[in-house]
Structure 1
Amino acid sequence: MTAHEPLKFAYWVPNVSGGLVTSAIEQRTDWGYDYNKRLARLAEDNGFEYALSQVRYIASYGAAYQHESTSFSLALLLATERLKAIAAVHPGLWQPGVLAKLVATADHLSGGRAAVNVVSGWFKDEFTKLGEPWLEHDERYRRSEEFIRVLREIWTSDHAEFNGDFYRLHDFDLKPKPLDVPGRPHPEIFQGGNSTAARRNGGRVSDWYFSNGKDYDGFTEQVDEVNGYAVDAGRAGAVRFGLNAFLIARDSEREARETLREIIAKADVDAVEGFRSAVQQAGASTGDKRGMWADSSFDDLVQYNDGFRSQLIGTPEQIADRAIEYKRRGANLLLLGFLHYHEEVEYFGHHVIPIIREKEAEQAAREDPLVAAR
C-alpha cells in the first residue's frame, strides 16, 4: 500500500456476549445474528471493508455466550455484498487442511471475500478442557507459523507438500481452489500479537499484522520490527498493518472523555482482574517478557485488546488527525470497536471517514503536485 492509498476500516464483530468493554455501562449491542446481519450491512454502507469475527470457545471474563467464528463469518458474507469477513481461528483446535477447504468454499460462496486471522491462543482452558495439549508460548507461535505456511501451500499448489514438526502434507490437491481475485494470491491471512515470536511470524509469513492498541511510538516500534523480519525473510513490503482501537467519537471532546471515564468507573473488577491475571501470565511466559498485555494496566484491560491506548477518542476532527498520523507511521487499516454499534458505525461513516478522506487528499496533494492538478 502506498501513502496515497486510502486507509481501510474493519470492525470487531460482536459475536460474543458482553460487548467490547468489560463494564456495566450500557452497551447497545447484541451478539445475535439478526443484530449482526443489520450491523454488517450498515458497516459496508458506511465505509468499512472488513469485519473480524472473534473466537471464544468457553465462557470467560464477561463473555458468557459465543457464536463460532467461521460459521458466523460465512453467514455475514452471505448477508452482504462487499464486506470481507475475517474469521479468527486457533491452530491446535483446527486441522489446517480442513480449514483450508472450509475457507475455499466460503470464498466461492461470497465471491472472494473470505479471510482468516490466525491466533495462537492465550487461554489455556480452551485447550485443556477440550483434551488438547497446551504448548508453551513460543511453541504455540511456531505451530502457527507452520499452520499459515500449510494454508498457503494448499491454496496455491496443485500438489501440496509440507514437512514440519506439527503438520505434514504429501501430494495434497485441494479443489476447488479459492477464487482468483485481483490483488491477492489467496484469501488474506491476518495474524497478531505483541511478543517477539508474534512479530517474527508477522514478518515471515503473514499478509497482515494486527497490533493491539498502541500509542504512536509503540505502534511505530512494532511496524519497524515486523518489517525488519520481513526483509530478513525476503518479503520486503509484503506485510500490511492493522491497529486495534476502541473508538469513542462524540460532538465534543468533553463528552467523549466522559464516556471513557464512565466505562472505566463501571468496570467489572472481578472479570477484568481475572482476565488480567490470565493474560499477563501468558505475556510473562515469553523469554523477553514482551508477550501480549505484558505492560497493560487495569484501565487498559477494561477493553480487552488495549483499545483505549490508541486514543481514538474525541471529536471527528481529533480522531481523523490521529488516524492520519497512524497511517503516516505505517497503518493500513484501523480495527475498531464501539459501545453502541449500529449508531456509532453510522456516525463514524458520516462524520469521521469524510474528514479522514479530506486529510488524505490534502496530504497526497502536498506530496505529489500532479495529484493536486487533477
Structure 2
Amino acid sequence: MSAPNTPDDELQASKFAYWVPNVSGGLVTSTIEQRTDWGFDYNRKLARTAEAVGFEYALSQVRYMASYGAEFQHESTSFSLGLLLATERLKVIAAVHPGMWQPGVLAKLGATADHMSGGRFAVNVVSGWFKGEFTAMGEPWLEHDERYRRSEEFITALKGIWTEEGYTLGGDFYRFRDFDLKPKPLSSPGRPHPEVFQGGNSTAARQMAGRVSDWYFSNGKDLAGIDEQIRDVRAVADPLGRRVRFGLNGFVIARDTEAEAHETLREIVAKANRPAVEGFRDAVQQAGNSTGDGKGMWADSSFEDLVQYNDGFRTNLIGTPEQIAERIVEFRRHGVDLFLCGFLHFQEEIEYFGARVLPVVRELEAAAGFAPTEFAPATAAR
C-alpha cells in the first residue's frame, strides 16, 4: 500500500507531535534512568525546544489520580494553556474525559484558550480505560460501547456549540436548548473550530472517528496494523464526505548505532516495574477484552508492549537516525499524517531528533515528492 490519506494530503510531508510529560514516571514504566521531569519549568523549556526543531503538536496527558507508576500528574487543560502561552507556533492538544467534563464547560474553556493562543488549542477526547478513577470520584462507569456513544455525542455537542448559534441537542447523555457561546473559537479556512482528536482501537472507536472526529490516534502499530485501522475509518468517513487524518504513537530510541538503540530497549524492558506494568495490564485489558470482537485497545498487548503504555515499541522507531527516518516515510506512504513521539530523556532526545532524524525525513520526503510542511524549524538543525 502506498496510498496517501486524501487527495488534499497527497503531497503533504509528515507532521510531528510529542507526548507532554506532565505525568511523573516518564513514558516507560521502568526503573531505568529517565532524565525527564513532569514539572512545568521543564515542560516549558521542552515545548520551546520542540517548536524550534520542527514539532507542530504536543499532547498533554490526563490522569486524575495516582496509578501504575504515575504517582503525580498535572491537569491537562490548564497545563496545555500554560504551554500555549509559553510558545508561539506549537499547537497543544489537551486530553479530556467525557464523564469528567460537561461539553458546554469544555467548549467555553476551549474558546478562551483558543483566543489566548491565537488559534492553537486542540482537544483529545479519551473515552476512558481506568475504571478506578471513575469509581473513586463517584462517577458511573459505562460499558465499552456506551463510553464511545457518549464520546461521540460529546464531540457532536462540542463542535455544535463552537460553530452554531442557539445550539440545541436532545441526546441520550447531553441536552442543550438554545445555547449560545460567545466568543466562538477562532476560525480560518479549513479550521472552523479547534481540532478534535480521539484514540481507540475497537470497532466502536473506528466508527466514531469516521463519523465525527478530525484526527484518529492509533496506539503503536506495524504497517499491517495501521493499514487495517485506516481502511476501517475511511470506510465510515468516505461515504459521509468526511476527511479524517491519522496519528500513530511511537516510542523513539534514536542512537548513533543500531546496537546502541536496541541495547537501550533491552535495558528498558529488563528494568520494567513489573507490579506497575501488571497492574496497568489488568486495568486496560479488561477494557480491551470487553468489546464484542476483541479489537479493543491493548487486547493483544504483551508485557513488553505495555512497558510503554501505548504500545510505542511496536511502531519500531528504534535504530539509527537513517533507519528511523526511512520507517517514518514508509508509514507516511501508508497514510499516517502525524507521528506522536515519546522519548526516554525528552529534552536531549528531542534535540537529537530535530538535529539528526528530521533532516533525513525531510530529504527522503522531498525525494519522494512530498511538499514541505508549513511548520518548518526556526533554524536549520543540521
TM over 0.5: yes
1:3–1:328 contact (8 Å) kept in structure 2: no
SS of 2:328 mapped into structure 1: helix
Change (3 A) 1:365 1:24: closer
Partner of 1:122: 129
Paired AA for residue 269 in structure 2: I
Which runs of 4 or more aligned residues in structure 1 lie more than 6 Å from their structure 2 counterparts after TM superposition? none
Match of 2:32 in 1: 25
Q: Which residue of 1 aligns with 2:226?
A: 219
How far apart are the structure 1 equivalents of 2:80 and 2:248?
Answer: 21
Tell me if structure 2 keeps the 8 A contact 1:257–1:313: yes
What is the CA–CA distance in structure 1 between the aligned matches of 2:95 and 2:24, rounded to whole Å? 16
Distance 1:365 1:348 in 2: 20
Structure 1, unaligned runs of 5 or more = 367-374
Deviation at 1:235, TM superposition (A): 2.9
**Take 2:129 and 2:12, find their aligned partners in 1: how far apart are those partners?**
34
What is the aligned partner in structure 1 of residue 379 from structure 2? Answer: none
Check if 1:60 corresponds to 2:71. no
Equivalent-residue separation in structure 2 for 1:299 and 1:292 (angstroms): 15
- Give the alignment partner of residue 8 of structure 1, picking from 5, 15, 26: 15
Paired residue type of 2:286: Q
Which SS does the other structure have where 2:199 is aligned?
strand
Matched-pair contact (CA < 8 Å) for 2:13–2:370: no
Relative to structure 1, the CA distance from residue 158 to residue 258 in structure 2 (aligned partners, 3 Å threshold; closer, same or farther) is same
List per-residue Cα deviations over 1:275-324 (Å, max 9, x = no partner). 11111111111111111000000000000000000000001110011001
Name the amino acid aligned to 2:226: F
Question: SS where residue 351 of structure 2 aligns?
Answer: helix
1:348 is displaced (CA, Å) by: 0.6
How many Å separate the matches in 2 of 1:288 and 1:174?
Answer: 40
How far the C-alpha of 1:182 sits from its partner, in A, is 3.3
The alpha-carbon deviation at position 183 of structure 1 amounts to 2.5
Alignment partner of 1:101: what SS?
helix
Superposed displacement of residue 365, structure 1: 7.6
Amino acid at match of 1:30: D
Conserved 8 A contact 1:57-1:126: yes
CA distance in 1, matches of 2:342, 2:136: 29
1:289 is aligned with what amino acid? G
In the TM superposition, what whole-angstrom CA distance separates every residue of 1:73-132 from its partner, at most 9, and x where no partner exists?
000000000000000000000000000000000000000000000000000011111111
Find the aligned partners of 1:56 and 1:37 in 2 and give their Cα distance. Answer: 20
| In the alignment, structure 1 residue 292 sits paired with structure 2 residue 297 | yes
Structure 1-normalised TM-score?
A: 0.96
Amino acid at match of 1:123: F
Match of 1:84 among 80, 91, 98: 91
The 8 Å contact of residues 44 and 82 in structure 1, kept in 2 or not, is answered as yes
For the Cα contact (< 8 Å) 1:203–1:235, is it kept in 2? no
* In structure 2, C-alpha distance between the alignment counterparts of 1:16 and 1:269, rounded to whole Å: 19
Equivalent in 277, 282, 301 of residue 272 of structure 1 = 277
- C-alpha distance in 1, partners of 2:351/2:75? 26
Distance between the aligned counterparts of 2:95 and 2:9, measured in 1?
27
Counterpart of 1:296 in structure 2: which amino acid? Answer: S
What's the offset of the Cα at 1:26? 0.6
1:19: Cα distance to partner? 0.3
The amino acid of 1:354's aligned partner reads P
Match of 1:261 among 254, 263, 266: 266
Q: Please state how far the C-alpha of 1:181 moved relative to its aligned partner.
A: 2.8
**CA contact 1:247–1:338 (8 Å) conserved in 2:** yes
Q: Say if 2:190 is the partner of 1:174.
A: no
**1:315 corresponds to:** 320
Which residue number in structure 2 is paired with residue 370 of structure 1?
none
Measure, in 1, the Cα distance between the counterparts of 2:283 and 2:99. Answer: 19
**Closer/same/farther in 2, CA of residues 365 and 324 from structure 1, 3 Å limit:** closer
Unaligned runs of 5+ in 2: 1-7, 372-382
The alpha-carbon distance between structure 1 residues 231 and 365, as it changes in their structure 2 partners (threshold 3 A), is: closer
Partner in structure 2 of residue 194 of structure 1: 201
Kindly indicate whether the alpha-carbon contact (under 8 Å) linking 2:12 and 2:370 is maintained by their aligned counterparts in 1: no
Is contact 2:11–2:370 with CA below 8 Å preserved after alignment?
no
Deviation at 1:170, TM superposition (A): 1.1
Q: Is the 8 A contact 1:188 1:207 kept in 2?
A: yes
Deviations for 1:152-192, whole angstroms, at most 9, x for unmatched residues? 00000011111110011111110000012332110000001
Report if aligned partners of 2:14, 2:337 keep a CA contact under 8 Å in 1.
Answer: yes
Q: Deviations over 1:193-252 (max 9, x none)?
A: 0000100111010000000000010011000001111124x134x100000000000111
Letter in 2 for 1:272: V
Q: How far 1:6 sits from its partner (Å)?
A: 1.5
Measure the CA separation in 2 of the matches of 1:209 and 1:173: 28
Amino acid at match of 2:290: S
Name which of structure 1's ranges 40-49 and 163-172 shifts more when overlaid on structure 2: 163-172
For 1:329, the equivalent position in structure 2 comes to 334
Distance 2:178 2:302 in 1: 49
Q: What TM-score, normalized by structure 2, do the two folds share?
A: 0.94
